């Protein structure tokens, strides 16, 4: 019986990715800033922009309902205007990249299994056709 070599490759790739994720990729694993310090540094400021929340100009006095200007002036972020991932769970971080490869490996594995079953069915039909032709 012929083995499916691509399945072994898929299993190996998934194992390597799982080991990388379990080992902890990213700056936190290298000893950079701890997670708590990172979250504290990312905390939004509570100070509203100048003129926002002023009772003389704000009818309800609540800064949460004011129209503060957007940073950069755009609703849609401009290319390369974001920040680098600093934690494995951030956008573009190690976990997101690993998940992409796991999904690709899973789809490739399913495609390989479907291809194998099609080939088996073709060989079975060819064997049945040759046995019917020789038996008739």
Alpha-carbon distance of 103 to 121, in angstroms, equals 27
**Model confidence pLDDT, tens digit, residues 8-21:** 777 877 887 777 77
Give me the pLDDT at residue 108, please: 97
Give me the pLDDT at residue 1, please: 47
- What are the structure tokens assigned to 136, written together? 């008739």
Contacts of 27 (CB under 8 A, 6+ apart): 33, 86, 87
Give me the pLDDT at residue 93, please: 85
Contacts of 89 (CB under 8 A, 6+ apart): 95, 96
**Model confidence pLDDT, tens digit, residues 51-66:** 555 666 666 666 666 6
Alpha-carbon distance of 129 to 73, in angstroms, equals 71
Q: Is the pTM of this model over 0.75?
A: no
- Helices 5-23 and 94-135 cross at an angle (nearest 10°) of 170
Per-domain residue ranges of the chain: 7-29+84-136
Q: What is the DSSP string of 65-109?
A: GS-PPPGGG-SSPPTT-S----STTSTTSHHHHHHHHHHHHHHHH
């Amino acid at each position: 019986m012929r083995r499916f070599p691509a399945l072994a490759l898929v299993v190996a790739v998934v194992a390597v990715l799982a080991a990388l994720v379990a080992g902890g990729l990213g700056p936190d694993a290298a000893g950079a800033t701890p997670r708590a310090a990172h979250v504290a540094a990312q905390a939004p400021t509570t100070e509203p922009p100048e003129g926002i929340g002023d009772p003389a100009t704000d009818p309800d006095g609540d800064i949460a309902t004011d129209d503060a200007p957007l940073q950069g002036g755009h609703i849609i972020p401009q290319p390369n205007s974001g920040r680098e991932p600093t934690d494995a769970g951030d956008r573009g971080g190690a976990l997101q990249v690993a998940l992409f490869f796991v999904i690709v490996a899973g789809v490739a594995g399913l495609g390989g299994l479907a291809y194998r079953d099609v080939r088996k069915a073709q060989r079975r039909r060819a064997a049945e056709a040759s046995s019917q032709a020789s038996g008739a």
